[in-house]
């Protein structure tokens, strides 16, 4: 590539070869391949080729692909920052602008931006270079609406840009071609069997719903139905990421009173409880985060007090999931408050009585929940374990009341 900068085909083949060597999804991938590429000036060579052959779609596609894969590193962001410093963000956006009708360029361009925006410090560069509207144009393009790869990578890139930034969220919501709300809804409706798009759609919904008018647009256009439908679909049943992102989106939607009532009427509590129970045995950061947001949704929905919702939560293993979330997040005040004050932990009426007894006896409620969690390792015995605990407390209370002699009786006998 360095020796033949004026030979277009060599530049195309060179970019394609570097993309293949750096591809972490390839069976032959090794981290040292990417290290060698960077060490020998591969980033500079790719960006130079893209700059020299802007009108050649093959060079632009393979160049975006190479930058996408080179930026991937498990333990460091060094390559991504090197790409940004050498003009990689601008090169990708120029490629997307020069070939708006080419699905391959748009796919690899969105994918490269998704990798780069994984790092918070690089998001500002993408936004400043009009990256949000470039992604929205790709998602809304008439031809690319039917391309699942463009849709998935575009949603992923927007989700990264929306993280922890109200300004970026508003820019996405109010962006070109109808903005991020319309793009998300359309992608989820069109690709209901594509797990990747459902996950990324729920994730972007969660982020954009922090903007009030975006949340109301999602709700008005059946966003709740799309999320609940994704959770229920058998094809997505075993994807743990979907549960996390869907519960996060539902938690934001449930802040609206009318929407919460609608979710309750559609059996949302049972749907969420069943989804949480499917992944309850996992123990990692994502699993704990997933249980936390699932718990928040259940707490919110059960405020309606419907007996059938409580029964659905118990039948689907939701009680154990809630207790597990409380144990894993003891300092998450909002979660603890919802789980206790809204009485989600006592989805059964008998457990409500046991909880009142604990308060009367001055027992530490959190300690009791922790003890209950230990007894509930086997889902089949969750209900019986809680009932046994209640009976033990009743027996203790009964025995203590029979052994105590009222002071008034002693005084009279004297």
CA 103 from chain center: how many Å? 26
Mean pLDDT of 244-266: 92
DSSP conformation letters of 74-136: SS--HHHHHHHHTTHHHHHHHHHHH-TT-HHHHHHHHHHHHHHTTSHHHHHHHHHTTHHHHHH
Q: Which range scores top for mean pLDDT: 194-198, 280-284, 396-400?
A: 194-198
Q: Given this model, what pLDDT does residue 285 score? A: 63
Q: Is the pLDDT of residue 379 over 70?
A: no
The share of the chain scoring above pLDDT 90, in percent, equals 57
Q: Which range scores top for mean pLDDT: 265-274, 310-319, 383-392?
A: 265-274
Q: Given this model, what pLDDT does residue 279 score? A: 72
Mean pLDDT of 330-346: 53
* 347-368 residue pLDDT tens: 444 455 555 555 665 656 555 5
* 82-123 residue pLDDT tens: 999 999 999 999 999 999 999 999 999 999 999 999 999 999
How confident is the prediction for the chain on average, in pLDDT? 83
CA 180 from chain center: how many Å? 17
Q: Given this model, what pLDDT does residue 355 score? A: 56
pLDDT-derived band at 377, boundaries 50, 70, 90: very low
Q: Given this model, what pLDDT does residue 352 score? A: 52
Those residues with Cβ within 8 angstroms of residue 50's Cβ, 6 or more apart along the chain or in another chain: 15, 59, 60, 63, 64, 91, 94, 95
pLDDT-derived band at 160, boundaries 50, 70, 90: very high
- DSSP H helical ranges for 254-404: 257-265, 268-278, 285-301, 307-315, 318-328, 333-341, 349-360, 365-375, 382-403
What predicted TM-score, i.e. pTM, was given to this entire model? 0.79
Angle at 112 between CA 199 and CA 30, to 5 degrees: 95
Q: Is the pLDDT of residue 183 over 60?
A: yes
Q: Distance between CA atoms of 25 and 97, rounded to whole angstroms?
A: 27
pLDDT-derived band at 381, boundaries 50, 70, 90: very low
Mean pLDDT of 116-143: 97
DSSP conformation letters of 161-189: HHTT-HHHHHHHHT-GGGHHHHHHHHHHH
Q: Given this model, what pLDDT does residue 348 score? A: 44
Q: Distance between CA atoms of 41 and 3, rounded to whole angstroms?
A: 13
In the block, tokens 């993280």 appear at 163
pLDDT-derived band at 210, boundaries 50, 70, 90: very high
Q: Hey, what domains does the chain have and what are their CATH numbers?
A: 229-376 (1.25.10)
- Tell me the CA distances in angstroms from 290 to 333, 347, 380, one per residue in order: 17, 20, 22
Q: Is the pLDDT of residue 373 over 90?
A: no
Q: Which range scores top for mean pLDDT: 216-230, 240-254, 307-321?
A: 216-230
The share of the chain scoring above pLDDT 70, in percent, equals 73
Q: Distance between CA atoms of 305 and 310, rounded to whole angstroms?
A: 8
């Amino acid at each position: 590539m360095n020796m033949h900068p004026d030979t277009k085909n060599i530049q195309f083949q060179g970019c394609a070869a570097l993309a293949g060597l750096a591809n972490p999804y390839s069976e032959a991938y090794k981290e040292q391949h990417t290290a060698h590429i960077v060490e020998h000036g591969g980033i500079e060579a790719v960006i130079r080729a893209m700059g020299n052959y802007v009108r050649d779609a093959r060079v632009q596609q393979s160049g975006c692909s190479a930058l996408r894969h080179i930026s991937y590193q498990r333990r460091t962001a060094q390559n991504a920052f090197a790409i940004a410093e050498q003009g990689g963000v601008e090169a990708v956006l120029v490629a997307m602008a020069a070939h708006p009708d080419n699905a391959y360029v748009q796919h690899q361009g969105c994918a490269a931006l998704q990798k780069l925006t994984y790092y918070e410090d690089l998001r500002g560069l993408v936004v400043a270079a009009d990256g949000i509207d470039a992604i929205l144009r790709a998602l809304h393009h008439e031809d690319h609406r039917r391309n699942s790869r463009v849709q998935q990578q575009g949603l992923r890139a927007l989700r990264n840009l929306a993280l922890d930034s109200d300004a970026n969220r508003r820019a996405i919501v109010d962006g070109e071609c109808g903005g991020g709300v319309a793009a998300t809804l359309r992608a989820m409706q069109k690709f209901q069997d594509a797990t990747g798009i459902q996950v990324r759609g729920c994730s972007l919904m969660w982020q954009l719903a922090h903007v009030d008018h975006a949340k109301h647009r999602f709700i008005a256009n059946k966003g709740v139905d799309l999320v609940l439908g994704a959770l229920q679909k058998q094809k997505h049943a075993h994807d743990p990421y979907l549960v996390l992102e869907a519960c996060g989106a539902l938690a934001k939607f449930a802040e609206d009173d009318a929407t919460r009532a609608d979710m309750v009427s559609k059996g949302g509590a049972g749907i969420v409880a069943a989804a949480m129970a499917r992944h309850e045995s996992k123990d990692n950061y994502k699993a704990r985060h997933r249980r936390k947001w699932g718990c928040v949704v259940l707490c919110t929905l059960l405020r309606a007090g419907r007996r059938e919702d409580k029964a659905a939560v118990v039948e689907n293993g939701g009680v154990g999931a809630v207790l597990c979330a409380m144990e894993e997040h003891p300092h998450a005040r909002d979660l603890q408050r919802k789980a206790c004050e809204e009485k989600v932990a006592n989805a059964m009426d008998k457990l409500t009585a046991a909880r009142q007894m604990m308060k009367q006896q001055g027992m530490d409620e959190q300690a009791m929940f922790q003890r209950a969690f230990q007894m509930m390792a086997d889902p089949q015995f969750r209900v019986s374990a809680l009932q046994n605990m209640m009976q033990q407390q009743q027996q203790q209370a009964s025995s203590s009341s029979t052994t105590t002699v009222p002071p008034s009786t002693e005084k009279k006998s004297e």
